[in-house]
Structure formats: structure tokens, C-alpha cells
Amino acid sequence: MDPIYLRSAGVSLVVNCEAGQAQIAHFGPDLGDALPQLDALTPPIPHSALDVPTVAGLIPQASSGWLGRPGLRGSFLADGRPGYGFSPALRVQEVDVQQSAATITQRDDALGLTIASHLSLHPGGLLELTHTLTNHGTDPYQLDELAAVVPVPRHADEVLDLTGRWCRENHPQRARLRQGTWVRSGRHGRTGHDSSLLVALGTAGFANRSGQVWAAHFGWSGNHEQFVDALADGRRLIGASELLGSGEVILAPGESYSTPAFFVSYSGAGLDGVTEQFYHWFRSRDHHVETTTGRVRPVVLNTWEAVYFDHDLDALTELAAAGAAVGAERFVLDDGWFSSRRDDTSGLGDWVVSDEAWPTGLTPLIEAVNGLGMEFGLWVEPEMVNLDSDVAHAHPDWIVGPDARPGARLPLEWRQQHILDLTHPEAWQHVFDQLDALLRENNIAYLKWDQNRDLTEHGSSGRPSVHRQTWAAYRLLDALRAAHPGVEIESCSSGGARIDLGILERTDRVWASDCNDALERQTIQRWTQAVLPPELVGSHVGPTHSHTTGRIHDISFRAITALFGHFGMEWDIRQASEAERDTLARAIALYKRHRALLHSGTRVNADLTDESLRLHGVVSADRTEGLFAAVSLGTSTAEMPGSVPVPGLDPQRTYRVVVELPTPADADYADTFTQIQPPAWVKKGALTASGAFLEHVGIQLPILNPEHALLLRVSEA
């Protein structure tokens, strides 16, 4: 049988199906037009080993000699107990290849198990892999794990992944890969603040724009594991799987289970090449937000850090007017508008407008907001419930817990709330009906959909149910979007605790973090945007004095940081000084002028030796223009920043570089720099140079004070 050979955008995939066993023989650089010769890849047989070469299959199996982590774990239940079938022998039954995709069906006839594996090499070079397991046997099959894996070469010996916590999501950590199994487990019932949005393996010292990199993302919003299996024989697999509870998935005869999508990227040009592949995939989707709406992303004003639970029509109308005056286009009323919700102890689950807070309903505020030329948005948290709520009093059996018996204990509270069991049909319908009525009865263009706690001890009917709860939440989002196709939905989860490609198939942006501190946001946004394009990442200008860290930052630094995302404000701008409002209005005007570039271009990150300095930007697809931020994260060991590369431009073109923000007209201009005079080109007002010069020689930056930034605009001269 000829190998499966898929090619796209400088990447190729080779799958060998000889001898009835499917295995990925190559995923990496393009191998050219000729069909690969697989004899070159057949390994030798060492001493003290099996008598045939060991196959690292598409589904790694002990029956093929694999001694690492198995791809499928489970067994059939005989008389309700595990009985047989713990070690399947899946062999290729059918192969269907169609242009850039292939489906490989493998079956164990003796057991009655079939796995259909679908591989798509997308036009931008991103690989997507899913498996569907079907039980054709006569007994139930208890599934413990079904993993998606892709082999990587042994010279990919350095691993980078992301971790974090509340208000510090998506921070990188990296180490040299050692023999053994490297595992990251997520048991939060949601993606998790510490979940790795990206796991990357690469050649030693791989960087933003250099080195070979294989990077993976698992598109699932529930419990999961990501891993690298490095065996003693030198082979390495990168993989991921849903982390199932005991007895959580039992397939009756004829039933199937499908894995979440596993996305893998190969780049020969560092991490920026990985980012480019993910951006291409996102922006090629039919339902990508700018594709479906046909418009750019509006400037947001969110009320949370401005008023918290203190809802007053006059105050909020004043806030909306202040937002509209600086250029806001969408006004979002956050927590506190419904039921008994005057603080975070009650009301969750009762999605009806509060008579106490809003005696005449939301209509007066909505009409005031619309009259100012802005859309109206609303905060909801449909998957959660307070014990002090009408729904909890009426239906205590709708609350998730480890024990289904009446009066059994509940999980520990988190932010004084519990989880509503959306796997219960009546509970699901209750939430849908209330939200559907809310959207039908009010002119709401946007929902900020929050989810503020981990799903600890998550059970329904006495069995673990994170898998079913995740799918129930997906179905709820799908149903509401079908009923109200014009409403956009943001995925928020205590900030960035549910950011993955599973939830983003159903939402229009994410809230990257509850932290609006611009210094923290520089790292959070850089690594969130390693996978997600900026139009999907909410990025707001917070208060001068950060509510989550206590730091104080100038308006230019906060505005430049927010510019590289879906721009917004979460600040009582009524309290801003006139100078701050002027700079904020200038930044919003810059965002509106350049958001088509920001939300369609290629993200680039310069490789700098000074860890206190960062330069990142977005370059247009035709490389005629770009917008860059030079950021000082802290004090430097060097007296001057020196020449800094401006990457990603066309080396043959000539460009003009100017400073956009801050300028001498801005109130914080003098505080941004620590120098007697700026570099000559800044003093003159512009620099003209070729793209080759800008990338390989670079430009002299002004000496920035710590925790300040400079916005540069580059355009073809």
C-alpha cells in the first residue's frame, strides 16, 4: 500500500500503512514532489528486543510492540466488571484520501473495536487530528483513554509550555527534554488557569524567529492531559487526551466516542511560524468573527472595575457618555443586574432582571447606550448557581456533587457558588429558556459569558460527569447562537481559565485575564496570542492604579498594551484627568485607524538579548506596513538599548518609521524616557530605511523608563 502523502504551505505529512499498521512516518518540512521512500525509515532490530521492528502507530499499541504510553486504554465489561479487551490489535481496514485530508479506519475484528482517524493538513500548514472509537462488540466497553499523538524527531530536545494562575495566565517555562514521560494534567473541569495553551518541542535554543519547532494544542474545555513520551529507543511522541474519570465513558454496543481535535504545527522559522499557521486556520473559518459580521471589532467599555455591583441608572448613563466621548462603541454591563445579586453571595442561576436594581428594567440604560451610538452587552454566568437563589431552593437536585443520594454533601464552595448540572435536561432547558427570553426581550448585542470556578468533585447521577457537562455547555452555546445569530459571545472564566479551540468554536473572543495591569498583560497577551489572533483576545485599558496588583502605570503604556488585541476599557473614565482622556482618545483613534491591520496581519516578535526589553508587532499580509511596540519590562543592565531589529518586513522595500505614541503632545511623554536627548532619527521625526536594514541592523530606540512603551508605525516610503 502506498504511503499517504499530504503537503501544504511548506509542510508535509507521511503516513505509512504497510503491513496493516498505520503510523506517521514524517511530519515536518516539505519533502518535495516525489513519493517518500519508506524503506529508509525501517529501523534495525537491537539485541534483547522483539523479533520484528516496533511500530509507533497512529494509535500506539502493545500489540505492535510499543512500550511507551498506549494510545487506547479500556476494557469490555462482562457482568458489569472489567473482563477482556485491555490490549487491542487494531489493524488498517480502509484508507480514504481526499486532497489535503485522509481517514484511516483500523479495526480489531476479534474484539469488535474500530477507530477511524481523520487527519487534515490545512492550507496554512496546520495539522488537525481526531479519532472516533466505535464499539461493535456485544458487551459495553469502558473507555479510560483515547489519545492523539504525533511523532517528533529526536533533535527536538527542548520543551516549552505555558502555565499560570489567576491574574497571571499563560506564562512560559522551558526545559531540556529527558528520557521518560513528561505530563501536564488538567483536573479543573475547565481548561484551567495553569493549562498550557501551547506545548512546543524544538531544536536547542529555538526562539521567536529561529529554530525548528513542533507545537501542539488540544481543543477541549474539560479535563485533559498533554504529554511528551520520550522512549529509551530514542523515539518521541507529542500527544494529548481527554482525562476521563472512572467509568465516565462507557460505550454500549453500537455507540461511539470522538476525541477533541488535536492541532499540531511544524515551523522551520521558530515560534512565529507556529503562530502564523494558527492565525491562518482561525481566519479561514467560515464563522470567524470578522468573516461572519463583516465588520471590525468595536471598542468596548466594560463596567466591572468602574462600578462593580453598584448599579445606578444615572451613574451608568454618565459612564456610557464618557465612554462614547473618547470613542467607545460597545457598552457592557457586568455582574449585578439580575435577581438578588447585590454581591457575590446570591442570585446566580436566576437570569431575570432585578426589580430592586432596575425597577423599570434594562430598557432605559439600553436606550441611553444605543442613543450614544453604542451596542449594549451584558454579563452572564449560566453554568453556575448560588445556594441562595430561586433555582437552588426549588431544585437542589440540579446542583453538581459527588453523591446522587438525597441530602448528600456538596463540593466545597468557590466564590460562594456551585455548579448547575447542565447534563440534567430540565436544568439545561431552564437556563436556555431564561437566556433566550432575556435576548428576545432586550436589545442585547453581546454576552460576556463567565465561568468562575473549577468543577471539583463534578458528578451527576453518582458518576463523574465533566465530559458530559462540557458537551452540555457546548450545546447550550450552540443553541443560543442558533436562536440569536446576531449576538456575539465572549468566553470568560475568572479571566483566562477557559481558553481553548473547543470553546472558541462557539464564542467570538476570550477574556485573557482578570488582570488589567499593563505590565502583567504584556506577557499574558504575548503568549495567549502565540495561538489566538488579537481580534479574539480582549485587551482593556484598566485604571491608573491596578485593582489586582496595586501598580501604577501611565496612560500611554496601558493604551499601547491594549492596542494589540480587541481594544477596550475597564475603568471609571469619569475620574480620568483631561490629559488622560486626551491620550486615551488618541489611542482609540489609532486603534480604529489600524485595527484592520492589527486583526489581519502577521504577528512578529523580535529576538532580543536584553530580557528587560521586548519588541513585537503586526505586519500587513502584503508587508507594506506594520505597527510595533517597544516595551521596557524593567531595568536593564545596559545603559542604552542599542540597535533593536524590526522583523517581518520585505527586505527589498524602503520604509518610513515614525513614533505614534507617546509624542510631546501627550501628558506622560516626559515620564516615558530617561535621556538627555533622543536618538537622531526620533529627533528628526522619522527614519527611512530598507526592510533588510531594519531587520538585520535595526534602529536605535530611545531609553525607556521601566514599565513604559513606545508605539512605532512603519509604512512603505
Catalytic residues: 450, 514
Q: What's the angle, vertex CA 179, arms to CA 177 and CA 180, rounded to 5? A: 105
CA–CA gap between residue 185 and residue 163 (Å, rounded): 11
**Which residues fall within 8 angstroms of residue 151, CB to CB, at 6 or more apart?**
23, 24, 27, 56, 235, 236, 237, 238
Give the pairing of strands 488-491 and 613-619.
unpaired
CA–CA gap between residue 11 and residue 33 (Å, rounded): 12
CA–CA gap between residue 511 and residue 497 (Å, rounded): 9
Phi, psi (rounded to 5 degrees) for 710: -130, 130
Q: Are residues 144 and 82 in contact, defined by beta-carbon separation less than 8 angstroms?
A: no
β partners of residue 302:
332
Q: Which of 297, 250, 647 is nearest to 445 (CA)?
A: 297
Question: In the structure grid, which three cell numbers stand for residue 229, read together?
Answer: 513520551
**Which residues fall within 8 angstroms of residue 698, CB to CB, at 6 or more apart?**
643, 644, 645, 646
Give the pairing of strands 224-230 and 23-29.
unpaired
Question: In the structure grid, which three cell numbers stand for residue 310, read together?
Answer: 453598584
CA–CA gap between residue 621 and residue 600 (Å, rounded): 7
Amino acid code (one letter) for 617: G
SS3 of 330, please? Answer: strand
β partners of residue 689:
655
SS3 of 595, please? Answer: helix
Amino acid code (one letter) for 100: S
Place of cell 510492540: 65
Beta strands in 546-694 (DSSP E): 566-569, 602-605, 613-619, 625-632, 643-644, 654-661, 687-690
Place of cell 454579563: 379
Dihedral sign for Cα atoms in the order 481, 483, 485, 486? negative
CA–CA gap between residue 22 and residue 528 (Å, rounded): 34
Q: Which of 663, 661, 654 is nearest to 691 (CA)?
A: 654
Q: What's the angle, vertex CA 629, arms to CA 522 and CA 294, rounded to 5? A: 85
Q: Are residues 627 and 597 in contact, defined by beta-carbon separation less than 8 angstroms?
A: yes
β partners of residue 712:
628, 659
DSSP letters of 404-419?
-STTPPPPPPBTTBEE
Buried/exposed code over 266-275 (b: 16+ C-beta within 10 A; e: otherwise): bbebbbbbbb
Q: Are residues 384 and 345 in contact, defined by beta-carbon separation less than 8 angstroms?
A: no
**Alpha carbon distance, N-terminus to C-terminus of the chain:** 56
Q: Which of 392, 384, 337, 345 is nearest to 365 (CA)?
A: 337
SS3 of 587, please? Answer: helix
